[in-house]
Amino acid sequence: MQSFFDSVLRAFRRYRRWFAAVLAVVGVAAALSVVSSASSGGQPTVVAARSIAGGSVLSASDLRVIRVPAEARPDDAFAQIAEVVGRQALRDVSARDLVQDSDLLNGELTSAPGMVKLPVHFSDSGAVSLLQAGQHIDIFGPDGTSGGFRLVASNITVLTVPHNEPSGPLSSGGAELVVIEVTAEQAADISAAASIASLSFALR
């Protein structure tokens, strides 16, 4: 029996480098298997790398890609940053929130000549849920002299409204914006009023 162990020991000493190489290969293969298993546990999904203000035009530095389980991934999520860059946020998006198509202004939406697209917040989210694209509204803001409200802009066309139905458990939440079509002068008046207090609107 002793001679058997001596033979094994001599063989191990003779081929120890070969044994070490085999063990190293096995270790690397095991590590790669773990990494592969982890990476296959979700789908590439674009999220906000930092807080994004509604109305901002997204750049690559605003975004990053993580893996999200398929069952938790909204249908309108993005897999690649290039799909999102250059589009305008309709709402505030918090850091690490998923970026969804419903969060962004349709890139194909165009304004009439001489008009601009303006994202605005309204104080009554319940009233906002009644809006539809194509409707016309009057916008009211603070009156700096009387402390009440005044008509800021009239007969304004609504271009897009928030999507109020989240697509999954990881869908983002936050303040949503309505995008309206206005002249540059109206945009300045509305923005000035919004910087003082919340805006409201009336349907026409």
Element (H, E) at 201: strand 200-203
Helices 16-39 and 2-14: crossing angle, nearest 10°?
Answer: 70
114 Cα distance to chain centroid: 30
Nearest to 89 by CA among 75, 74, 76, 99: 99
The stretch 40-62 carries a mean pLDDT of 87
Render pLDDT for 58-89 as a digit per residue (tens, 0 to 9).
999 999 999 999 898 999 899 999 999 988 88
Q: Give 1's pLDDT tier (boundaries 50, 70, 90).
A: low
The pLDDT of residue 128 is above 60: yes
Please determine, for residue 28, whether its predicted confidence score (pLDDT) is greater than 80.
Answer: no
Give the bridge partners for 140, in sequence order: 151, 200
Residue extents of the structural domains in the chain: 2-39, 43-203
Mean pLDDT of the chain: 78
- Mean pLDDT calculated for residue range 120-149: 86
Give the C-alpha separation, 179 to 90, whole Å.
7
Q: CATH class for domain 43-203?
A: alpha beta
* Interstrand relation of 149-160 and 136-142 (parallel, antiparallel or unpaired): antiparallel
114 vs 145: which has the higher pLDDT = 114
At residue 16, what are phi and psi to the nearest 5 degrees? -60, -35
Rounded average pLDDT over 103-125: 78
Looking at residues 9-30, what average pLDDT do you find?
Answer: 56
- Residue 175: pLDDT above 70? no
136-172 pLDDT, tens digit each:
999 999 987 777 889 999 999 988 876 544 444 333 4
